[in-house]
């Protein structure tokens, strides 16, 4: 089954979003890397690499989708990707989807058996999903 990796600047944020994903889509592999030692904000390429490896293993041959909380998390992701073998790197797909909504929608799609393109599309659709009721 397609898995998710959450890369964020806060361990609390990553832990919270992962908990939402696990409740919304039990069984979907989700791993996270967030924050620095001592509870500081930031990202660690080494931690991201570990999360990628765990998710790839849990996905058992299926691809994984990475979601980033902020654009600068991409630097840690690049370091994490360098730690992977070429074949594993090819299973990693990165999306610019909203962190919270994108993760939940991606997980629900993955739990329903969607393919990688559909899972990414579900995550990215979150960017245009209204949060408030629209008046007519």
* Domain assignments of the chain as residue spans, ordered by start: 3-127
Class of the CATH-defined domain 3-127: alpha beta
**What single DSSP character describes residue 95?**
E
List the one residue out of 32, 39, 35 whose CA is nearest residue 18.
32
Is the pLDDT at 136 greater than 80, yes or no?
A: no
User: What pLDDT digit, counting tens, does each position of 81-94 carry?
Assistant: 999 999 999 999 99
Q: What is the pLDDT of residue 99?
A: 97
CA distances from 51 to 6, 26, 73, 94, 128 (A): 8, 18, 14, 14, 28
Is the pLDDT at 133 greater than 90, yes or no?
A: no
For residues 104-127, average pLDDT: 98
Query: Apex CA 124: angle with CA 64 and CA 104, to 5°?
Result: 65
Round to whole Å and give the CA distance between 23 and 4: 14
Is the pLDDT at 135 greater than 90, yes or no?
A: no
CA 65 to chain centre: 5
Q: What is the pLDDT of residue 30?
A: 98
For residues 50-57, average pLDDT: 98
Round to whole Å and give the CA distance between 105 and 65: 12
């Amino acid at each position: 089954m397609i898995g998710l990796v959450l890369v964020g600047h806060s361990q609390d944020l990553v832990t919270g979003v992962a908990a939402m994903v696990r409740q919304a889509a039990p069984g979907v592999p989700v791993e996270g890397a967030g924050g620095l030692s001592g509870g500081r904000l930031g990202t660690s390429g080494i931690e991201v690499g570990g999360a990628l490896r765990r998710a790839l293993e849990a996905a058992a041959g299926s691809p994984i989708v990475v979601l980033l909380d902020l654009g600068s998390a991409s630097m840690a992701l690049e370091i994490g990707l360098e730690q992977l073998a070429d074949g594993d790197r090819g299973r990693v797909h990165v999306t610019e989807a909203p962190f919270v909504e994108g993760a939940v929608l991606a997980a629900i799609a993955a739990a329903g058996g969607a393919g990688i393109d559909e899972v990414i599309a579900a995550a990215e659709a979150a960017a245009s999903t209204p949060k408030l009721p629209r008046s007519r």
